[in-house]
Structure 1
């Protein structure tokens, strides 16, 4: 399970995906639910924080996983 903790419109939110490739696919649709500029402040996969990710936005996270899936 992948969890993304982010800020949107000054509110802290979180979203879950079964796996990182599902997250990547969710941003490839015409009108994605998650906007590129949302600020990401924590990511976990299988309950472990992804400390290698040093980006700040959903687009940064997409680019991080695009190269890995």
Structure 2
């Protein structure tokens, strides 16, 4: 759910910024929100997989550091 929320917020804010700057609308760009959403959701799965690969005995801060290091 977090991946969908953050990706959606990024899509809306980017679209608003382009509209505010007066950029013309191009129909080919309509596919971009779906690509951004797919990448955002995939990144969440990668991070969760990396989190589950860490040892549960470590402190949460250390686990998060190791998970983010592994996920890239």
Query: Shorter-chain TM-score: what band?
Result: under 0.3
Please give the TM-score of this superposition, normalised by the length of structure 2: 0.23
More helix by share: 2
More strand by share: 1
Asked which structure has the greater CA Rg, the reply is 2
